[in-house]
Amino acid sequence: MTETYRAFVVHKDDDTTRLAYEERPVPEPQDGEVVVQIAWSCVNYKDGLATLPKGGVVRAWPRVPGVDMSGVVAASRDERFREGDEVVCTGYDFGVNHDGGHAERCCVPGDWLFRRPDGLSLRDCMTFGTAGFTAALAVQQMERNGLAPDNGEVLVTGASGGVGSMAVAMLAKLGYRVAASTGKAEAAAFLTGLGAESILSREDVSEEPRPIGRARWAGAVDQVGGRVLAWTLSTMAYRGVCAATGLTGGPGLQSTVFPFILRGVSLLGIDSVMCPMAERGPLWSRMAGELRPADLDSMTTEIAFDDLQPTLTTILKGGVTGRTVVRLAGG
């Protein structure tokens, strides 16, 4: 009898998508591939977009979404991994052009996997996931461009979401003074609990930007884009550094060159998807140490696999705060 596993699958029918749980045969790995029994996955905004017919994420259907997973190697034809190894996958084409982590099993190229970092459980790895790794990359790149706790206040926009909440917690852990912007008034206590010293409303950071405004921020992590990013750039302090990590407010950017040529502001693009594997290991080790939020569980909601579909709908509506992990097999 063929062994099967359960997967959450997105089908596209003309201009609509159809979502269903399905039983699939467990694949045999080909040369260089690894089959993983997934223990945990998580929910990202990108996963929500993957369920939409014009979400701009998936190009071929049917598709199992889920850009992150952690689990245990069940079979391997990659000499670097053996049965029983605990591994993590984030980024690359996982959950986009390749079936992803919203399933009980997956078969992926060994080049996309790395071993569970010391100091983090498989669940912890999914509490971080792509969101935490993106936030860590943003912090690291800002530091490499001169940001230090003594430079001044750091703004985080879209702060109640996955990347934003992780950025708030990581920056606070490192001793930065953090201002958190959110469109959810009810998230203020959550963000101050992560270490934010002040809370700004969505309206505060989405005013029509001047060519150059009052200098306020030594650093910024922007998850929103659009007008919010333009306003943030116009209010950066001298030699401030701004990391652009997302586009929940839209992909456009109408700004001027004034912040760059009058204040020496740096705008840093942050991409976690294709980050070289050689850079991932050291940064994940740092995430297990000095970048680990003081209370990782406080920013985490756990759901069962059967609760995935409504959560994907909710995240698209901006209704998810912090991080959501999906329990596949425990771990």
Q: What is the pLDDT of residue 248?
A: 87
Residue 121 in domain:
no
Where residue 162 falls among pLDDT bands split at 50, 70, 90?
very high
One domain for residues 150 and 261: yes
Q: Inform me whether the pLDDT recorded for 304 exceeds 80.
A: yes
Domain boundary among the residues 220, 235, 269 is at: 269
One domain for residues 158 and 252: yes
Tokens coding 146: 């001169």
Where residue 305 falls among pLDDT bands split at 50, 70, 90?
very high
- pLDDT tens per residue across span 53-79: 988 899 899 999 999 999 999 999 999
Where residue 209 falls among pLDDT bands split at 50, 70, 90?
confident
Residue 290 in domain:
no
One domain for residues 158 and 104: no
From the number of C-beta atoms within 10 Å of its C-beta (0-12, 13-18, 19+), residue 214 rates as exposed
One domain for residues 61 and 157: no
Q: What is the pLDDT of residue 111?
A: 97
Residue 278 in domain:
no
Count the neighbouring beta carbons within 10 Å of the beta carbon of residue 125. 31
Q: What is the pLDDT of residue 208?
A: 87
Domain boundary among the residues 269, 286, 303 is at: 269
One domain for residues 234 and 202: yes
Amino acid letter at 195?
G
- pLDDT tens per residue across span 2-28: 699 999 999 998 889 999 999 999 999
One domain for residues 139 and 197: yes
One domain for residues 99 and 158: no
What is the arithmetic mean of pLDDT over 274-284? 95
Amino acid letter at 290?
E
Q: Please give the residue range of the domain that contains residue 246.
A: 131-269
Where residue 294 falls among pLDDT bands split at 50, 70, 90?
confident
In this prediction, what percent of the chain has a pLDDT beyond 90? Answer: 91
Biggest distance spanned by C-alpha atoms of the chain:
70
What is the arithmetic mean of pLDDT over 277-292? 96
* pTM of the predicted protein model: 0.95
Work out how many domains the chain is built from and give that number: 2
One domain for residues 243 and 156: yes
Q: Inform me whether the pLDDT recorded for 330 exceeds 80.
A: no
Say if residues 27 and 35 touch (Cβ distance below 8 Å).
yes
Q: Poorest-confidence range of 48-52, 208-212, 275-279?
A: 208-212
Residue 283 in domain:
no
What is the arithmetic mean of pLDDT over 231-236? 97
One domain for residues 9 and 104: yes
Residue 99 in domain:
yes
One domain for residues 201 and 151: yes
Give the CA count within 13 Å in the CB-facing half-sphere of 99.
22
**Arithmetic mean of pLDDT over the chain:** 95
Say if residues 157 and 164 touch (Cβ distance below 8 Å).
yes
Sequential DSSP letters for 205-264: G-SPPPSS----EEEEEESS-HHHHHHHHHTEEEEEEEEE---TT-S-----SHHHHHS-
Residue 264 in domain:
yes
Q: Inform me whether the pLDDT recorded for 102 exceeds 90.
A: yes
Residue 275 in domain:
no
Residue 289 in domain:
no
Report how far residue 108's alpha carbon sits from residue 77's, in angstroms, rounded to the nearest whole number: 11
Pairing between strand 33-42 and 68-76?
A: antiparallel
CA-atom Rg of the chain in angstroms = 20
| Strand, helix or coil for residue 140 | helix
Report how far residue 312's alpha carbon sits from residue 66's, in angstroms, rounded to the nearest whole number: 10
Name the residue among 85, 145, 88, 42 with its Cα closest to residue 277: 88
What CATH code is carried by the domain that includes residue 136?
A: 3.40.50.720
Q: Inform me whether the pLDDT recorded for 274 exceeds 90.
A: yes
What CATH code is carried by the domain that includes residue 97?
A: 3.90.180.10
Where residue 268 falls among pLDDT bands split at 50, 70, 90?
very high
One domain for residues 149 and 22: no
Where residue 179 falls among pLDDT bands split at 50, 70, 90?
very high
One domain for residues 185 and 67: no
Domain boundary among the residues 254, 269, 284 is at: 269
Q: What is the pLDDT of residue 331?
A: 41
